[in-house]
Amino acid sequence: MDVERTPLPGIGLRHVFVTHRGRRLGVVSHRDGRRDLVVYRRDDPDSAAETLVLTPEEANGLAELLGAARIVERLAELHRQVEGLVSEQIPITAGSPYDGRSLGDTRTRARTGASVVAVVRDREVIASPRPDFVFHAGDVVVAVGTAEGTAAVATILTDG
């Protein structure tokens, strides 16, 4: 996604991008926190078809709707994508043998066939953790694979 950034002297900034379906969408950021959401005309990409004026609170609310909710949605999507594929969220407890050890040490992929696709730490999602990623107690590991595979990952992470 290419975002075109243009300064608007005396007003603020404008960001514009073209959606996958070919519509131009822009945000005009005013210095006082006001945001204009601009949808461009289908037949004339130079011209705004609709300009929605958002107060700072409304803009924040919209950003939250678009941002935070997307992560939950993406996890739910994984379930639906492939028949027979399961995603499981496995907490790393304080007594886990892998508390303080790396993802590579678990060798889950080789042992179970399931993959660790993300780790949720302090409400932040770390997507595609690398093998040298070190687990801490409190992390939630998201594993994707067959039902048996993900169950095996859960066993490894809790009991070794």
If binding is defined by CB under 8 A, does position 26 make contact with other proteins? yes
Q: How far is the CB of 46 from other proteins (least distance, A)?
A: 4
Q: Give me the long-range contacts of 15-21 (CB less than 8 A, separation at least 24).
A: 16/40
Q: Which residues of 76-90 are buried (b: 16+ CB within 10 A; e: fewer)?
A: eeeeeeeeebbbbeb
Q: Which of 32, 73, 83, 122 binds other proteins (CB under 8 A)?
A: 32
> Residue 73 CB, nearest distance to other proteins (Å)?
21
22 binds other proteins, rule: CB under 8 A? yes
Among 47, 60, 89, 128, binds other proteins (CB under 8 A): 47
Q: How far apart are CA 61 and CA 158, in angstroms?
A: 38
Structure tokens at 145: 């694979």
Phi-psi region of 19 (alpha: psi -120 to 50; beta: other; left: phi over 0): beta
* Minimum CB distance to other proteins smaller for 46 or for 122: 46
Interface contacts to other proteins, rule CB under 8 A: 6-11, 14, 16, 21-23, 26, 28, 31-32, 36, 38, 40, 42-48, 50-51
